Amino acid sequence: MNEEQRNELSQIREKSSDEGNLERIKQKTSEDFMQYFQTTYQPPNMRDAQRRKKKDTEVHYDFSIPEDMNLAGQGKKYMIRTYGCQMNEHDTEVMAGIFEEMGYESTSNQKEADVILLNTCAIRENAENKVFGEIGHLKSLKVENPNLILGICGCMSQEESVVNRILKKHPFIDLIFGTHNIHRLPQLMKEAMFGKEMVVDVWSKEGDIIENLPRARKGNIKAWVNIMYGCDKFCTYCIVPYTRGKERSRMPQDIIQEVRHLAAQGYKEVTLLGQNVNSYGKDLNIGYGLGDLMDELRSIDIPRVRFTTSHPRDFDDRLVEVLAKGGNMLDHIHLPVQSGNTDVLKIMGRKYSREEYLDLVRKIRLAMPGATLTTDIIVGFPNETEEQFQDTLSLVEEVGFEAAYTFIYSPRDNTPAAKMKDNVSMEEKKDRLHRLNKLVNQQSADAMSKYEGEVVDVLVQGESKNNPDVLAGYTKRNKLVNFRAPDAVIGKIVPVRITKAKTWSLDGELVEEKVEVK
Ligand code: SAH
Ligand code: SF4
Ligand code: F3S
């Protein structure tokens, strides 16, 4: 696209916004955009991601809001919709923190927002469809208010095909940025506010670590703490290594300092976050791993410390030993297995066999006899046979998982599995999912029923989502408990006697006489 065309494009965008007629932009400019971006803009590239080098990660401690954006949000409101995993939820807290440092206030009413960001997830096709549906709805808001800034960020923005689709079909979007560019939000907002073209800032890079980003955390009871970013496992079905960059660990002292700070602020629980937390520390080359980190966090005065997500392959004896010491270490391990069949695991690139997984479970059970184990499972991986699926069912029973996130395999662009031919029909996949869920529900209900009559310690989170008259919280084994009690117990750990077990939650009553505020 030459200078003249660019000017024309800007004029069309400007004029269309004035007239509130965005349809014209779409018709007149999608080809120009494509041409322009094909020549000057480099979208994230799967091949480059796979060829990543083990170069040192850069750690930056110098984040600040540029002076000219310090007050940019005064009198304005932001809204961020989050899709996907805890990592994204936490990224949203960081972006919210940056917006608030620029003077923006948060709103949950999209009509009064001056900027709306969709923090997206690419893990399965339905996650992406939800976002594209939402992008469609946002268009009418932009027509009503041409000054509204609409942005797409998160994992979908790291995908070449998604960026191209937005450029082509949704030119009313003002801003696209990826998972590595969150710290550039003030600059990107500036470009989006004052420029006339769509701002695209997506780096297909391995990723650095930016330490001193602000955070506007949701709530003051539980907090997320990143311990590492990215993933190097490249499971053959998974998009995350491409959307999140290479594995890179934060320095132990930075994590410990953050947890200490949260403890001092009165938080009761931290969840350490990473796509594969058991690899924590490998890239630091200082002989320090997740077990060592957890051991140090044991001595911090915070009642509960969890981590997610574990990869069975790197779950080592040192970690098992530390978790078994109890204290603020919790009796719940989420250990995604994905399949119970060794051949399927091999094609998935999980790098462990059914037997190795079961050995690890035995080790954990021996050290932590009461621990709850939960998992993630994919059914209908390309060419999965009924016998292989039966191995998954038998493994679920053998381990005694008390909950599982279960998914139908969803091919992701440019991942190795997406190139495999698949002879399993969608009908069959749905039937397998149904049978698996039935078993998991049964096991969950059985595990819950054992709590009837027991007294458990519950960290009270607030009102139940389904009934504002009831409070809700979690036990150390991650069981959801609903009970009636005065609001004064919110944020405390209180004893609750379980009166009724349901499939996914427990009903109880506060044990008043022993209320012990921890
Ligand atoms: N890092 C974590 C999980 C990341 S994604 C781990 O390795 O366990 C969360 C879950 O989504 C995965 O555990 C897997 O069960 C599921 N998942 C990932 N890619 C998928 C795909 N292409 N189709 C269906 N489910 C998928
Ligand atoms: Fe995806 Fe595997 Fe990495 Fe988990 S470990 S994020 S499933 S590639
Ligand atoms: Fe989704 Fe990205 Fe998390 S793809 S699951 S939001 S890491």
Tens-digit pLDDT profile for residues 455-500: 999 999 999 998 999 999 999 999 999 999 999 999 999 999 999 9
Q: Tell me which of 88, 152, 311, 334 to substitute to probe ligand 3's pocket, judged by most ligand atoms within 8 Å of the beta carbon.
A: 88
In this prediction, residue 3 has a pLDDT band, given cuts at 50, 70 and 90, of low
Whether 235 and 349 share a structural domain: yes
Tens-digit pLDDT profile for residues 170-204: 999 999 999 999 999 999 999 999 988 899 999 87
What CATH number does the domain containing 257 carry? Answer: 3.80.30.20
- Measured from the Cα of 275, ligand 3's closest atom is 7
- Give the whole-angstrom CA distance, residue 326 versus residue 360: 19
Is 422 part of a structural domain of the chain? yes
Whether 265 and 220 share a structural domain: yes
What CATH number does the domain containing 500 carry? Answer: 2.40.50.140
Whether 398 and 492 share a structural domain: no
Number of domains present in the structure of the chain = 3
Residue 212 has pLDDT above 70, yes or no: yes
CA 436 to chain centre: 24
Does ligand 2 come within 6 angstroms of the Cβ of 235?
A: yes
**What's the pLDDT score for residue 207?**
77
Whether 191 and 254 share a structural domain: no
Is 284 part of a structural domain of the chain? yes
In this prediction, residue 206 has a pLDDT band, given cuts at 50, 70 and 90, of confident
Q: What is the radius of gyration, based on Cα positions, of the chain?
A: 24
Of 421, 449, 477, the residue at which a domain comes to its end is 449
Annotated binding site for [4Fe-4S] cluster: 85, 121, 155, 231, 235, 238
| Of residues 202, 205, 292, the one with CA closest to residue 255 | 292
* Cβ atoms of 424 and 378 closer than 8 Å: no
Nearest bound ligand to the CA of residue 85 = 3
Of 167, 201, 235, the residue at which a domain comes to its end is 201
Find where tokens 């590239």 sit: 45
Tens-digit pLDDT profile for residues 55-90: 668 899 989 999 999 999 999 999 999 999 999 999
What 3 state SS string does 117-161 have?
A: EEEECCCCHHHHHHHHHHHHHHHHHHHHCCCCEEEEEEHHHHCHH
* Cβ atoms of 6 and 35 closer than 8 Å: no
Does ligand 3 come within 6 angstroms of the Cβ of 155?
A: yes
**What's the pLDDT score for residue 203?**
82
Whether 177 and 288 share a structural domain: no
Range of the domain at 303: 214-449
Distance 160 CA to ligand 1 centre (A): 20
Is 207 part of a structural domain of the chain? no
Whole-structure pTM value: 0.89
Sign of the dihedral defined by the CA atoms of residues 468, 456, 295, 273, in that order: negative
Whether 437 and 294 share a structural domain: yes
A 10 A CB-CB count for 180 gives 24
* Cβ atoms of 121 and 109 closer than 8 Å: no
Distance 230 CA to ligand 1 centre (A): 14
**What's the pLDDT score for residue 516?**
53
CA angle (314, 318, 324) in 5-degree steps: 115
Residue 33 has pLDDT above 80, yes or no: no
- Measured from the Cα of 275, ligand 1's closest atom is 1
Distance 404 CA to ligand 2 centre (A): 16
Is 209 part of a structural domain of the chain? no
Torsion of CA 333, 336, 339, 345, to 10 degrees: -120
Nearest bound ligand to the CA of residue 159 = 3
Whether 219 and 194 share a structural domain: no
In this prediction, residue 502 has a pLDDT band, given cuts at 50, 70 and 90, of very high
Whether 221 and 255 share a structural domain: yes
Distance 319 CA to ligand 3 centre (A): 25
Distance 44 CA to ligand 2 centre (A): 19
Whether 490 and 416 share a structural domain: no
